[in-house]
């Protein structure tokens, strides 16, 4: 990812005092990032944790998971034209979307389209939802498309405030993203 060489992991002067509408507009304009962390997936019968690295550059993404789908490293890449899943020693899987890749491997309907927005602390724009904001005018909770989300541990990164922990509940499943590091193209904090 070429933009990562010019990234900053901490904001020099984070933007503060933004209204929810201003914060939302700034995050909607953010189309490229690299995040590193863990994803815990729980159901009523099991629990597993994977390491996740997600690089997004406009419409192109590469999501690397370690420990997913029965141990080992998995790389999922794609764009609006299609998605691929690669795992060492196995044939590459091709599908027309990330949703269809997820459907092949998961026992539940994974909210892949929504996650592009949810990971940044935004409701997905296509469907309605119920939001609750924190006193700092950041998303604290969201109910959308059958999922209940809660957000906390926001991090100031390159002029943005991005979530450090996101819990997604859809009975009987709970997914928890713990994001250790966000890397973004250097932003001009005055532009927000």
Mean pLDDT (the chain) is 85
**Residue 43, pLDDT score:** 84
- How far apart, in whole angstroms, are the C-alpha atoms of residue 135 and residue 119? 20
Scanning the structure block, which residue is given the tokens 């507009």? 25
CB atoms within 10 A of CB 171: 10
pLDDT, one tens digit per residue, over 17-39 is 789 999 999 999 999 999 999 99
> pTM for the full model?
0.84
pLDDT of residue 191: 45
Q: Which residue has the tokens 């604290």?
A: 140
Whole-angstrom distance between the N-terminal and C-terminal Cα of the chain? 24
pLDDT higher for 84 or 113?
84
List residues bridging with 75 in a β-sheet. Answer: 64, 86
């Amino acid at each position: 990812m070429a933009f990562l060489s010019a990234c900053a992991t901490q904001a020099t002067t984070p933007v503060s005092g933004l209204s929810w509408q201003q914060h939302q507009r700034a995050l909607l304009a953010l189309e490229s990032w690299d995040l590193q962390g863990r994803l815990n997936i729980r159901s009523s019968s099991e629990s597993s944790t994977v390491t996740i690295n997600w690089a997004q550059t406009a419409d192109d993404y590469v999501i690397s998971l370690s420990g997913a789908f029965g141990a080992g490293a998995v790389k999922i890449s794609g764009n609006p034209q299609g998605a691929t899943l690669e795992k060492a020693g196995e044939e590459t899987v091709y599908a027309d979307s990330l949703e269809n890749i997820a459907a092949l491997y998961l026992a539940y309907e994974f909210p892949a389209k929504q996650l592009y927005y949810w990971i940044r602390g935004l409701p997905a724009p296509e469907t309605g939802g119920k939001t609750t904001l924190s006193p700092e005018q950041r998303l604290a909770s969201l109910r959308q498309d059958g999922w209940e989300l809660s957000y906390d541990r926001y991090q100031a990164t390159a002029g943005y405030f991005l979530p450090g922990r996101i819990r997604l509940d859809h009975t009987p499943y709970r997914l928890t993203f713990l994001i250790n590091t966000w890397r973004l193209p250097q932003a001009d904090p005055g532009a927000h």
